[in-house]
Amino acid sequence: MSRKPYPTDLTDEQWERLEPLLPSPKSGTRRGGRPAADTREVVNAVLHLLRSGGSWRLLPHDFPCWKTVYTRFRLWRLAGVWDRAHAALRAEVRVEAGHPPTPATLRVDSQTVRTTRRGGARGFDGGKKGRRAEAVHRG
């Protein structure tokens, strides 16, 4: 990395954990193609955008081209790479903390699940259905 690091950049330890979970780029292979952008820099750019809330096109110039970053992010999202990486890293962290990889119990409170079942329309109409104050009524 030849640039000054951003606070959102991955540390070497974090990158060592994440790198095996990400697919290798398809471009820049023996069969030709454009040289692939550094995967670590692409991930750092995505993390920078997530933290800053900026636009893809406003990505700082020290990261790879915004189109490259967006395309990889989108392809990984569609392929489920982010979900699998998150699940694997969560399991690792739980095991390191002395817990099983997945939770054994589920806790649900009343804010999460509605307890009553009722059908029909919702809300209060007050007998005003279809009438407006500016409408002319024949009496």
pLDDT per residue as tens digits for the range 107-129: 777 666 565 666 666 666 565 55
Q: Residue 7 gets which letter from DSSP?
A: T
Query: Which pLDDT does position 132 carry in this prediction?
Result: 58
3-state secondary structure of 10: coil
Could you give the percent of the chain with pLDDT greater than 90?
Answer: 58
Query: Who's near 30: CB < 8 A, 6+ residues apart?
Result: none
Q: How confident is the model at residue 29 (pLDDT cuts 50, 70, 90)?
A: low
Average pLDDT for residues 6-17, to the nearest whole number?
A: 94
When the pLDDT of each residue in the chain is averaged and rounded to a whole number, the result is: 83
Q: Taking the CA of residue 138 as centre, how many other CA atoms within 13 Å lie in the half-sphere pointing to its CB?
A: 0
Higher pLDDT among residues 28 and 98, named by residue: 98
Query: Which pLDDT does position 24 carry in this prediction?
Result: 84
Average pLDDT for residues 61-82, to the nearest whole number?
A: 94
Query: Who's near 40: CB < 8 A, 6+ residues apart?
Result: 1, 10, 15, 19
Higher pLDDT among residues 62 and 134, named by residue: 62
Tokens 């919702």 belong to which residue? 122
What is the C-alpha to C-alpha distance for residues 43 and 56, in angstroms, rounded to an integer?
13
